[in-house]
Amino acid sequence: MSAAQQFTRSDGATISFVRDDAQDTKKPSVVFLHGLRSDKGGTKAEALTRHARERGYGLLRFDMFGHGASSGRFEDGGISRWVEDAVAVLDELTTGPQILVGSSMGGWVMVKTAMARPRKVMGLVGIAVAPDFTEDLMWAGFDAGQRAALMTAGAVDLPSDYDDGPYRISRHLIEDGRRNLVLRADIPITCPVRLIHGQQDAAVPWETSLRLAAKILGDDVMTHLVKDGDHRLSRPQDLTRLCGLVDELVTKGCS
C-alpha cells in the first residue's frame, strides 16, 4: 500500500492524501471524494485503489478539511471549503484527465469540482450522491426546536446510523450549503456521468440521483438503481458494479 502524504494549502491547512501513479499513462486517472464524516480509508476507496492497481490506472484519495488525517475541525468545514480542497488537489497533485468518483456528500463536491475544472474532468461516477443535502434533507427535516438551536447555539447534534456518536451540524454548514445548491438550475456538465443509488437507502432518497441526472446538460448520463442496495453500497456486488462503471469511463477516456 502507498503511504499517506501531506499537501499544504496556501492558508497553511494540510490535506492528507494517498496517490498511486498510473502504470499506463495513456489512461485517465481517478480521484475519490469521500462522504460526510468519512475519509480516504473507507471500503469503497480501498476497493477502488486495489482495482486501479490491477488495471494500471492512477488513483488519488484524500481527506477533506476536518476529516480523517487532514487538519481543521469538522464543524468549521462546509461545501465551499471541501470543493476548494478538491480543486486544489486536482490542480496541484494530478496531471492529465481525471475521473471523479464521489460518495454521498462527495457526490455534491464532485459536481461542483467538475463545474470549476471542466477541462480537467472527463467523467463522473456518483455513489448515493447527496447534492443539496444540507437544505433538502437536513434543514427541511429539522423540527422547530432544532432550527431554533441551530440559529441560537450555532449547532445541533443529529443521531447517526454510520458513526459512533452524533453528527454536530453547524449553522455554517447549513448556510454555506445554501450558497452551493446545484439542483435548482441546469448543471453545465457535459462529460459522461454514471450514478449508482440503492433503493433501500435510508439516508439519501434514491430519487436524488434521478434529479441530478435530469439537471445535468450532457446526454451521456446513466443512473443505475440497486433495488436491494443501502446507502453504503459496499457489498462485494456493489463494489464490483462500481469498479465496472469506473472501468467504462476509463475506456471512454482512452478512445
70 carries an active-site annotation: no
With a CB cutoff of 8 Å and minimum separation 6, the contacts of 219 are none
pLDDT-derived band of residue 25, with 50, 70 and 90 as boundaries?
confident
The answer to whether residue 175 is domain-embedded is no
Q: Domain count of the chain? A: 1
User: Is 252's pLDDT higher than 90?
Assistant: no
The predicted model scores a pTM of 0.96
Give me the domain span that covers residue 213.
5-132+188-254
Q: What are the helix (H) ranges across 124-170?
A: 133, 144-153
170 carries an active-site annotation: no
The answer to whether residue 238 is domain-embedded is yes
The angle formed by the CA atoms of residues 198, 80 and 140, to the nearest 5 degrees, is 55
201 carries an active-site annotation: yes
The answer to whether residue 81 is domain-embedded is yes
State pLDDT tens for residues 117-164: 999 999 999 999 999 999 999 999 999 999 999 999 999 998 877 666
The answer to whether residue 166 is domain-embedded is no
The answer to whether residue 45 is domain-embedded is yes
Residue from 16, 29, 104, 170 carrying the catalytic annotation? 104
Q: What is the domain-level CATH number for residue 102?
A: 3.40.50.1820
State pLDDT tens for residues 82-106: 999 999 999 999 999 999 999 999 9
Among residues 78, 27, 43, which one has the least CA distance to residue 248? 27
Q: What is the pLDDT of residue 131?
A: 98
Decide the pairing of beta strands 29-33 and 98-103. Answer: parallel
Assigned C-alpha cell, 92: 496541484
Residue from 16, 29, 231, 238 carrying the catalytic annotation? 231
State pLDDT tens for residues 163-222: 667 888 999 999 999 999 999 999 999 999 999 999 999 999 999 999 999 999 999 999
The answer to whether residue 237 is domain-embedded is yes
Residue from 132, 136, 201, 238 carrying the catalytic annotation? 201
The answer to whether residue 246 is domain-embedded is yes
